Amino acid sequence: MARVYLFKPFERFWHWSQAALIITMLVTGFEVHGSYKLFGFGKAVDYHTIAAWTLVGLWIFAIFWHFTTGEWRQYIPTTQKMLAVANYYSSGIFKGEEHPYKPTTGKKHNPLQRLTYLAVLTLLSPLIWVSGGLYLFYADWPSLGLSGLSLQWVAAAHTLGAFLMLAFLISHLYLATTGHKITSQVMAMITGWEDLGDDAAPGNKH
């Protein structure tokens, strides 16, 4: 059985902490939006705000870690094997075909993962953070010269970001089950080691 050590301790801590905080913000955020009642409006706002500031702190540290370790290179887009990976997820996976991309320590993410994570970091996250920050500091808009903004549009942008993040989370959970075994990728984010299957063992041809 071929195995590769992919994720360092901080990466695993960052992944699970971020996941817990995002889920907390989704649950409390949709309650603030009025979708259901769970904690009560006041507590939901408090929990949502605490989770948001905690995630900001985590992201600041994670950005520092990625740049000082060079791990930021893992998110640089590439077209190598992109079509092969796209074909695998669109049809090959349902035919029992082998995944065309084998992760390594230096290249942990396949081309589609790189694009998706980069889009989340550069497009979706700014949408959520900017709209959320405006929402949080609504009372300060006049002093900041932002009186012309529409709270309704800011709220709509933040809600859109929340639904997009929920869609990403659902797709991420599904794709996490598509490894060599249904638990391979989840275990990789717990132990750091991912099983690639017997076909990936040294000496086997692909």
Angle, helix 9-32 to helix 151-175, in steps of 10 degrees: 130
| Whether the predicted pLDDT of 203 surpasses 80 | no
The tens digit of pLDDT for each residue in 175-189 reads: 898 887 888 889 999
**Residue 201 pLDDT:** 47
The tens digit of pLDDT for each residue in 43-84 reads: 999 999 999 999 999 999 999 999 999 999 999 998 889 999
**Residue 178 pLDDT:** 84
| Whether the predicted pLDDT of 157 surpasses 80 | yes
In DSSP terms, which residues pair with 3 in a beta bridge?
195
Q: Provide the whole-model pTM.
A: 0.88
User: Residue 6: which pLDDT band, with cuts at 50, 70 and 90?
Assistant: very high
Q: What does residue 4 show for φ and ψ, rounded to 5 degrees?
A: -140, 140
The tens digit of pLDDT for each residue in 119-129 reads: 999 999 999 99
Alpha-carbon 71 to chain mean position: 16
| Whether the predicted pLDDT of 202 surpasses 90 | no
| Whether the predicted pLDDT of 206 surpasses 50 | no
**Residue 170 pLDDT:** 95
Cα dihedral across residues 79, 81, 83, 87: positive or negative: negative
The tens digit of pLDDT for each residue in 131-152 reads: 999 999 999 999 999 989 999 9
Could you give the residue ranges of the DSSP H alpha helices within 8-150?
9-32, 41-69, 82-90, 111-119, 125-136, 141-144
Other Cβ atoms less than 10 A from the Cβ of 205: the count is 4
| Structural domains present in the chain | 2-200 (1.20.950)
For residue 195, the SS3 value is strand
| Higher pLDDT among residues 196 and 12, named by residue | 12
State the first-to-last Cα distance of the chain, in angstroms, to the nearest integer.
Answer: 15
| Whether the predicted pLDDT of 1 surpasses 80 | no
The tens digit of pLDDT for each residue in 17-50 reads: 999 999 999 999 999 989 999 999 999 999 999 9
